[in-house]
Structure 1
């Protein structure tokens, strides 16, 4: 299955979403509601994951772009054995 090489849009994280993410990653109790676009951010990460899993090994440039967007940063020569499955990926 070939994927279209389209630009990767990074979601905008507002202060309210950033605060909610800090609570989530610290282990504190938080309400996972969608008032601040929290689910939109997670959905964007899941979309990147799905596209990465669908991108063939014969397109390493696109795979690298997707991995860099998914993880927030990636060193040279990063390789993942797909399928990748993660609830979150940004700066993992």
Structure 2
């Protein structure tokens, strides 16, 4: 299969073989920049910002990613809005597009994966793969250790509880938890009164 056909299939949800040599070499070039990003020192904030602009498909203003960052394509297929914060060990399996809105927060050890494989072992032994994009809305908080599977969409303002495995779409304005992740409750007016059980919000 020609490399251009493979690339079309990467972004269309169709099966392709991911062991193409040309594809692998392109991937390695992207990973070189990721290596440089993870090797930066804490005071090299400007260098980190410049690297991220070159690594990602899109990255907005006031974004911060705490190294180490892991990404199959070094962020080449990642689209971040403004004000995105990611704590350490964010893993992006970005074999196709990952879209993240504005003011999204990622706690430590979050994994977002677009790449997956067919069930049958014969196809897997031939390195068959397919990819489905992930969409995360604005003002979303993803808790520690969350895994988001291929093709998932998460609506605006939603909170995904720590340790959840998100296998299906989650709507806007809810708290969702579990494995598989399910809606636990709506976000409501009480969330502007209390920030933790019966602990009242005492700042403006």
Query: Normalising to structure 1: TM-score of the pair?
Result: 0.68
Q: In the alignment, which residue of structure 2 is the partner of 1:41?
A: 26
Are 1:31 and 2:17 matched, yes or no? yes
2:55 equivalent among 70, 76, 80: 70
**Unaligned 5+ runs, structure 1:** 1-15
- For the pair shown, which has the larger CA radius of gyration, 1 or 2? 2
**Larger relative contact order (CA 8 Å, sep ≥ 6):** 1
Q: In the alignment, which residue of structure 2 is the partner of 1:6?
A: none
Equivalents in 2 of 1:18, 1:73: separation in Å?
Answer: 22
Q: In the alignment, which residue of structure 2 is the partner of 1:87?
A: 72
Secondary structure, aligned partner of 1:26? coil
Deviation at 1:62, TM superposition (A): 1.0
1:69-90 alpha-carbon deviations (Å, 9 max, x no partner): 1112221211101100111221
Tell whether the 8 Å contact from 1:20 to 1:30 is kept in structure 2 after alignment. Answer: yes
For residues 78 and 86 of structure 1, do their structure 2 counterparts lie closer, same or farther at Cα, with a shift above 3 Å needed? same
For residues 18 and 68 of structure 1, do their structure 2 counterparts lie closer, same or farther at Cα, with a shift above 3 Å needed? farther
Are 1:21 and 2:13 matched, yes or no? no
Deviation at 1:64, TM superposition (A): 0.7
Going by fraction, where is strand more abundant, 1 or 2?
Answer: 2
CA RMSD after TM alignment: 1.8
1:29-53 alpha-carbon deviations (Å, 9 max, x no partner): 112212xx21121101111111111
Tell whether the 8 Å contact from 1:57 to 1:63 is kept in structure 2 after alignment. Answer: no
Going by fraction, where is helix more abundant, 1 or 2?
Answer: 1
Equivalents in 1 of 2:38, 2:31: separation in Å?
Answer: 11
Tell whether the 8 Å contact from 1:48 to 1:70 is kept in structure 2 after alignment. Answer: yes
Query: Normalising to structure 2: TM-score of the pair?
Result: 0.34
